[in-house]
Chain A
Amino acid sequence: MEFRDNKAIYLQIAEYVCEHILLGKWKADEKVPSVRELAVEMEVNPNTVMRTYELLQNKNIINNKRGIGFFVDEAAMDNVRNYRKQQFIIDELPVVFRNIYLLNIGFDELKSKYETFVKENFNA
């Protein structure tokens, strides 16, 4: 996998796992790849993947069934959204806010742009 330069590898691997869950590729109660399998796929140190899995366990996104392996948590979908929302607010929103401020974009304009975007991309 190609990693970006601006974020710790174990967090980028967490994003990868979350993405698979959000897209429904890995479903609730299904087994996720073992630490070693994912380390080989990502070409990283297994200790790094272990750190990812510990983080995702703390967020109740995956759980560890002793002796069997790691599984997608029942409530993973909601927990991924919560986790990603926090990440978005911390990491990405400040950049967006800065541009909104610097370019003096009004909230009304933003709102109509947002609604058009949702309509075009998600048919909502």
Chain B
Amino acid sequence: MYYLTNTVDMININNLNFGYSKHKPLFKNMSMRLSNGHIYGLLGKNGAGKSSLLKNLAGLVYAQSGTLDVMGFNPAKRQPALLEQICFIPEEFYLPSVKIDAYLKANAPFYKNFDNQYFTDLIKEFDIPVEQKLINMSYGQKKKVIIAFGLATQAKLVIMDEPTNGLDIPSKAQFRKIMASAMTDERCIIISTHQVRDLDNLIDTVIMLDENDVALKASVEEITAKLTFKKVKEIDDSIIYAEASLSGYNAVMPNYHQEESKLDMELLFNAILAEKIKFKPLFS
């Protein structure tokens, strides 16, 4: 966002209506724009629609009405020219009973920019046993294989649904390093997560879904310009939301004195769920 001269809308969602049944809408007239050069963190309660939004973007489910524009394409049409530019790492996935090289041979040709060397480097870095069949690997190892494959496609849109689930402690640090280097000016990266502590320093813009719509979309810089997150001994009227802690309270309040606090993403999440009306005017 600082060194980009040409940010474009990579994703443009307009009045999206979506649900798995007609009587239970998941999104009502949702609109949102996402651009290149960012890592978006998608947050929301269970069932808020995080995975469904990601599936809409990847053309895996279809909108009831409204428009979705992903890099100039309608994802529902599933055109190869778009799909080769999307890397989608789902939370649940199936890998066949073959070794890595056979998997590569069958799948890499769909992506014309696929970088074999980069894939090999990632597999090595993640310490994946290449002689083992994919189906016999642990969940965490499988996950690392599809992350490595997804990033090696060089796709411009990277969508990851709970990528750190199942990763062991060293793999999480490796994942953060890999994502820090994978974030280029051309790419738009969207990561949905409940494990905000795994990823909060990677995310530059927070998107929070709640009650059928986008409850918040703001950069970390904008959030911390408007709000401060800090420990206080006592609660007063200036505090929007607070949680008791050992030494007092962890509080969110308007940033009256231009303090440069560290965004506490979990606290923000709970604060917005509890006090949505108070945040609305701050971020409109």
Question: Hey, which bits of chain A sit against chain B, CB under 8 A?
Answer: 3-9, 11, 35-36, 39-48, 50-51, 54
Q: Using Cβ atoms and an 8 Å threshold, which residues of chain A touch B261?
A: 6-8
On whether the beta carbons of B204 and A48 are closer than 8 Å, the reply is yes
On whether the beta carbons of A45 and B201 are closer than 8 Å, the reply is yes
Q: How far is the CB of B22 from chain A (nearest CB, A)?
A: 40
Given A6-B231, A48-B204, 11 extra CB contacts under 8 A = A3-B201, A7-B260, A7-B262, A9-B262, A35-B3, A42-B201, A43-B176, A44-B180, A44-B202, A47-B2, A47-B37
Q: How far is the CB of B42 from chain A (nearest CB, A)?
A: 15
Contact of B264 among A5, A7, A40, A46 (CB under 8 A): A5
On whether the beta carbons of A51 and B230 are closer than 8 Å, the reply is no
Q: How far is the CB of A17 from chain B (nearest CB, A)?
A: 16
Q: Using Cβ atoms and an 8 Å threshold, which residues of chain B touch A45?
A: 39, 180, 183, 201-204
Q: Using Cβ atoms and an 8 Å threshold, which residues of chain A touch B181?
A: 36, 39-40
On whether the beta carbons of A46 and B180 are closer than 8 Å, the reply is yes
Q: Using Cβ atoms and an 8 Å threshold, which residues of chain A touch B202?
A: 43-45
On whether the beta carbons of A6 and B262 are closer than 8 Å, the reply is yes
Nearest B residue to A11 via CB reads B260
Describe A's contact surface by its main secondary structure.
helix
Return the 9 tightest CB-CB contacts between A and B, nearest first: A43-B176, A50-B2, A39-B180, A8-B260, A44-B201, A40-B180, A45-B204, A47-B204, A40-B177
On whether the beta carbons of A43 and B38 are closer than 8 Å, the reply is no
Nearest A residue to B183 via CB reads A46
Q: Can you offer 11 A-B residue contacts whose CB atoms are under 8 A?
A: A4-B262, A8-B224, A9-B262, A41-B177, A42-B201, A43-B173, A43-B176, A44-B202, A47-B37, A47-B183, A50-B2
Q: How far is the CB of A100 from chain B (nearest CB, A)?
A: 20
Q: Using Cβ atoms and an 8 Å threshold, which residues of chain B touch A51?
A: 2, 221
Contact of B180 among A5, A43, A54 (CB under 8 A): A43
Assess whether B1 is interfacial by the CB under 8 Å rule.
yes
Q: Using Cβ atoms and an 8 Å threshold, which residues of chain A touch B1?
A: 47
Q: Using Cβ atoms and an 8 Å threshold, which residues of chain B touch A42?
A: 180, 201
Q: Annotate B178-212 by CB proximity to A: 1 below 8 A, 0 otherwise.
A: 00110100000000000000000111100000000
Contact of A50 among B3, B39, B177, B201 (CB under 8 A): B3
On whether the beta carbons of A36 and B3 are closer than 8 Å, the reply is no
A46 to B204, CA, bound (A): 9
Q: Using Cβ atoms and an 8 Å threshold, which residues of chain B touch A44?
A: 180, 201-202
Nearest B residue to A41 via CB reads B177
Nearest A residue to B173 via CB reads A43
Q: How far is the CB of B40 from chain A (nearest CB, A)?
A: 11
A35 to B180, CA, bound (A): 10
A35 to B260, CA, bound (A): 21
A51 to B261, CA, bound (A): 15
Nearest B residue to A4 via CB reads B262
Q: How far is the CB of A66 from chain B (nearest CB, A)?
A: 12
On whether the beta carbons of A8 and B262 are closer than 8 Å, the reply is yes
Q: Using Cβ atoms and an 8 Å threshold, which residues of chain B touch A39?
A: 180-181, 183
Q: Using Cβ atoms and an 8 Å threshold, which residues of chain B touch A3?
A: 201, 262
